[in-house]
Amino acid sequence: MSFRYFTREEFDCQETGENEMKDEFIHALDALRHECGFSFQITSGYRSPNHSIEAKKSKPGTHAQGIAADIAVADGNQRYLIVKNAMAMAFSGIGIHKNFIHVDTRQSVPVLWEY
């Protein structure tokens, strides 16, 4: 399956090389990238349940489910555009950090947080 702006390899687990990203999520991220109008650098995509961050959790999170990504941001304008558009689209989990924005498509109640 092909995507407009991304390759599947961009989402490989940084510790294990595994990749179980859901195609639907990458397509949603493609649409978000299109709306924002600037390139996205994925700093964290799929994380194996054995990844050091996931292994510390009581149950694997959205990265380990293949429905999350962290997107690097260069400034407040990029941060704003990603959050604004993600909220208007299919993303139900949005985390705001100085250096990145986390987006996911969790099935629970929508959440917004800061790191």
pLDDT digits (tens, 9 = 90+) for 17-67: 999 999 999 999 999 999 999 999 999 999 999 999 998 999 989 999 999
Indicate the pLDDT class of residue 3, thresholds 50, 70 and 90: very high
- Burial label, 58 (beta-carbon count in 10 A; 0-12, 13-18, 19+): exposed
Q: What is the mean pLDDT of residues 103-112?
A: 96
Taking only the tens place, the pLDDT of each residue in 73-82 is 999 999 999 9
Name the fold adopted by 8-106: Muramoyl-pentapeptide Carboxypeptidase; domain 2 (3.30.1380)
Determine what percent of the chain falls in helix, strand and coil, rounding each to the nearest 5: 30, 20, 50
Q: Inform me whether the pLDDT recorded for 1 exceeds 90.
A: no
Q: Where are the domains of the chain?
A: 8-106
